Structure 1
Amino acid sequence: MGKTLFDKIWDAHVVQRKEGHPDVLYIDTHFIHEVTSPQAFDGLRRRGIRVRRPDRTFATADHNVPTLNQHLPIREELSRRQVEMLTRNCEEFGIELYGLGHPFQGIVHVIGPELGITQPGMTIVCGDSHTSTHGAFGTIAFGIGTSEVEQVLATQCILQYKPRKMRITIDGQLKKGVVSKDIILYIISRISASGATGYFVEYAGSTIRSLSMEARMTICNMSIEMGARGGMIAPDETTFAYIQGRRFAPKGADWERALAYWKTLYSDPDAVFDKKLHFDAADIEPMITYGTNPGMGIKITETIPTPVQVAEKERASFERALHYMGLQPGTRLLNQPVDYVFIGSCTNSRIEDLRMVANFVKGKKKAPNVEVWVVPGSKQVEAQARKEGIDRIFEEAGFQLRGPGCSACLGMNEDKIPPGKYCVSTSNRNFEGRQGPQARTFLASPLTAAAAAITGKIVDVREFL
């Protein structure tokens, strides 16, 4: 019997397996940031343990960093303390840190791929749920908790039960105005925010193969939002071309050896999945969420469901979500006024995302009722945007291009959406208070967000293309 891509990588990294117990899984690469690492380092100190593989541990500051005046001390005390603690921990334990001011600083799931640290066939973990982003390269990548961060720092291994396997196939050509963010929001809306719980998902099909690496990262990034342990895509020529020449990519003969291995990383034709789903790209349209989890999504032209259209066990949470959002069942979101537009996060802050937005807004002005924040995912993305003149396009449109960081994806830094205000966001979560206390979030693609910024309301971007 053939193996799935997931099986090939997982089985190659099992150090020890015992019936009825979690596998001891070797971890190739460990990313850390300032939020989930302090307690882990304290645990190492108490036990007198050093970091097992500092050369395979990469640190950056992203969650708590300000995106304005990054050269100045951080104003929020908790944020400042966490970033300072990361700096001290990395110095003490010999870990390279891409902190504020470093040319490689940025969101952890942006800098890993762009530096070539992320490579096919790896196991990758980070104390952050959206570690699944790296699965776009044909890796097993997943988020872990703080106690597990300590476990990996100490041993370079982790105890994990092997999840079940799901394959989601999307075939066909995408319609005008539909991008990868719409694909994943569509899938989550169809199977719910818990529809892949307990599974590791492989995305396949002609639609997936047609996507760029940055678009694939967007899809794998949000696998966690449907309950999956992670998501992955088999590497191909698009993957190899993206990696080649990057800072940490293999060189010379090492590249040829790596490439030969990477080309074996695919699911065999007779591989068995625990569950298979298939979607037609022709059915996908620009998507937007209306509620307080990513599964509460609709096509931009559809109406918000009514209670009778919602499963009885979900009606209470559905009604609470609409009350929180200040919306009515059975109505459309089209022409809903918005106050903020946030373009950023580990989901949609790469150079392709910024190019997409810049191409749409060039020569236009933002609506007077909207504040627009564009937050690149890394210093390298920011530098590339300035090199291409994207910063000038944003400035002329009235958009504010900020420094890199997680920013308004989560209410953990200075970039918060005020209470009661509506924000069209390219981030990955719309939970209550996610972007700030009482903030109201609509998740959408960079294109839909750009259109909202120009018009001041939710619109169907296809009318402007």
Structure 2
Amino acid sequence: STIVCGDSHTSTHGAFGAVAFGIGTSEVEMVFATQCILQPRPKTMRITVDGRLGSGVTSKDMALYIIAQLGTGGATGYFVEYAGDAVRALSMEQRMTLCNLSIEMGARGGMVAPDQTTFDYLKGREFAPSGKEWDEAVAYWRTLPSDDDAVYDCEVRFDAADIEPRVTYGTNPGMGIGISEPVPLPPDDAAARLSFEKALAYMGFRQGESLEGQKVDYVFLGSCTNGRIEDFRAFASYVKGRRKHPDVTAWLVPGSWKVRRQISEEGLDKVLEEAGFEIRQPGCSACLAMNDDKVPAGCLSVSTSNRNFEGRQGPGARTVLAGPLVAAAAAVHGVITDPRKS
């Protein structure tokens, strides 16, 4: 299927093998009127991640790693297909997170070819075919993956062993480091250096320093990147038996009412409540400072959302992007913490 929507993170649907991308309002009008859309054909890029992710490393960390390697414009003009053993090992929800962030490196969209993981996830769902129609659908879906001899305009390869929990230090998703790494030195290019120094000044960080131990004021778990049930399971698994740090304000926001119901059905709400957390009403919330969910100026937020631009979570707010485990560790310890160590 081709799926379009007036939201750049429509690329999330690429996890199901769909060609999914965001469009503008005039294009939405075109689709409503004709069920067609005129688009230039994008170039193709395959990003292969070999090996296996380490313990405590999530698909969010994989995505932030790839964006840091390629840059926020590294996939501009391309539609990305993710491949490799590390990608195949991801659950559907983890694949959604990976595809969701494709847009943050400039890609038109991102996708993972459908496989048995896809079919197992879809089977029995409300709008999925059933009986003979299901068998026919799966038989067709199995024809969709790229041919073994497919040629891409660009091929990029990474090793999953090089990926650790990630955090951002600047004001775009590409300004990220492994949690054990120091803030890097500025680039040589004069214009890039100016932008780099401006970002560090806004965030209040210095080159060469570690982000581990930085005081955290807010933690946000949610958004279309990390507001799914598996994200809440991961967060709850870390905080179980612990307590939220008294100096941290934590906003835990399910991505939908269905996720909210699952949280209750699985008893995760009780685990979170016992640890001092509160589940908020589903929605976009602090991802883009919607309604009253704004991080105050100067405060540092560890956020599982997708963007960390100046003012994204509130005027003057400072945002560190991370995965749900890093967010959980920050909420418990009150400082940026490697979840593998604690």
The aligned residue for residue 300 of structure 1 is: 179
Q: CA deviation at 1:387?
A: 1.1
Q: What does the per-residue CA deviation read over 1:193-222, in whole Å, with 9 as the maximum and x for residues that have no partner?
A: 110000000000000011100000000000
Q: Which amino acid aligns with 2:230?
A: E
Equivalents in 2 of 1:319, 1:313: separation in Å? Answer: 10
The answer on 1:430 being equivalent to 2:308 is yes
Equivalents in 2 of 1:179, 1:434: separation in Å? Answer: 23
The answer on 1:413 being equivalent to 2:282 is no
> Is the Cα contact below 8 Å between 1:371 and 1:399 reproduced in 2?
no
The aligned residue for residue 399 of structure 1 is: 277
1:374-389 to 2 correspondences below 5 Å: 374-389=252-267
Pair 139,323 (structure 1): closer, same or farther in 2 beyond 3 Å: same
Equivalents in 2 of 1:165, 1:313: separation in Å? Answer: 29
The aligned residue for residue 130 of structure 2 is: 251
The aligned residue for residue 167 of structure 2 is: 288
Q: Which amino acid aligns with 1:413?
A: N
User: Which secondary structure does the structure 1 equivalent of 2:270 belong to?
Assistant: helix
1:23-42 to 2 correspondences below 5 Å: none
Q: CA deviation at 1:382?
A: 0.5
What is the TM-score when the length of structure 1 is the normalising length? 0.73
The answer on 1:264 being equivalent to 2:146 is no
Q: CA deviation at 1:394?
A: 1.1
Equivalents in 2 of 1:371, 1:260: separation in Å? Answer: 49
Can you give the 5+ residue segments of structure 2 that lack an aligned partner in the other structure?
A: none
> Is the Cα contact below 8 Å between 1:291 and 1:321 reproduced in 2?
yes
The aligned residue for residue 21 of structure 1 is: none
> Is the Cα contact below 8 Å between 1:372 and 1:398 reproduced in 2?
no
Equivalents in 1 of 2:241, 2:290: separation in Å? Answer: 34
The aligned residue for residue 22 of structure 2 is: 143
1:50-199 to 2 correspondences below 5 Å: 122-199=1-78
Equivalents in 1 of 2:290, 2:278: separation in Å? Answer: 20
The aligned residue for residue 351 of structure 1 is: 229
Among candidates 260, 265, 274, match of residue 153 of structure 2:
274
User: Which secondary structure does the structure 1 equivalent of 2:226 belong to?
Assistant: coil
**Comparing 411-420 and 343-352, the one that deviates more:** 411-420
Equivalents in 1 of 2:291, 2:124: separation in Å? Answer: 34
The answer on 1:373 being equivalent to 2:251 is yes
Equivalents in 1 of 2:225, 2:303: separation in Å? Answer: 10
Among candidates 156, 177, 192, match of residue 314 of structure 1:
192
Q: CA deviation at 1:414?
A: 2.1
The answer on 1:210 being equivalent to 2:89 is yes
Equivalents in 1 of 2:188, 2:151: separation in Å? Answer: 33
User: Which secondary structure does the structure 1 equivalent of 2:224 belong to?
Assistant: coil
Equivalents in 1 of 2:277, 2:24: separation in Å? Answer: 36
User: Which secondary structure does the structure 1 equivalent of 2:225 belong to?
Assistant: coil
Q: What does the per-residue CA deviation read over 1:287-323, in whole Å, with 9 as the maximum and x for residues that have no partner?
A: 000100000000001111122x454331111111111
Q: How much is the aligned-residue C-alpha RMSD, in angstroms?
A: 0.9
Equivalents in 2 of 1:413, 1:328: separation in Å? Answer: 32
Q: Which amino acid aligns with 1:359?
A: S
The answer on 1:340 being equivalent to 2:202 is no
Q: Which amino acid aligns with 1:426?
A: T
Q: CA deviation at 1:419?
A: 1.1
Equivalents in 2 of 1:145, 1:253: separation in Å? Answer: 38
Equivalents in 1 of 2:337, 2:261: separation in Å? Answer: 31
Q: What does the per-residue CA deviation read over 1:244-273, in whole Å, with 9 as the maximum and x for residues that have no partner?
A: 111111122221111111000111111110
Q: CA deviation at 1:427?
A: 0.3
Q: What does the per-residue CA deviation read over 1:130-183, in whole Å, with 9 as the maximum and x for residues that have no partner?
A: 000000110100000111111111111111001000000001011111110000
Identity value in percent? 65
Q: CA deviation at 1:328?
A: 1.2
What is the TM-score when the length of structure 2 is the normalising length? 0.98
Aligned residues: 342
The answer on 1:459 being equivalent to 2:337 is yes
Can you give the 5+ residue segments of structure 1 that lack an aligned partner in the other structure?
A: 1-121
Q: What does the per-residue CA deviation read over 1:8-62, in whole Å, with 9 as the maximum and x for residues that have no partner?
A: xxxxxxxxxxxxxxxxxxxxxxxxxxxxxxxxxxxxxxxxxxxxxxxxxxxxxxx
Moved over 6 A (4+): none
The answer on 1:327 being equivalent to 2:202 is no
Q: Which has the larger radius of gyration?
A: 1
Pair 336,310 (structure 1): closer, same or farther in 2 beyond 3 Å: farther
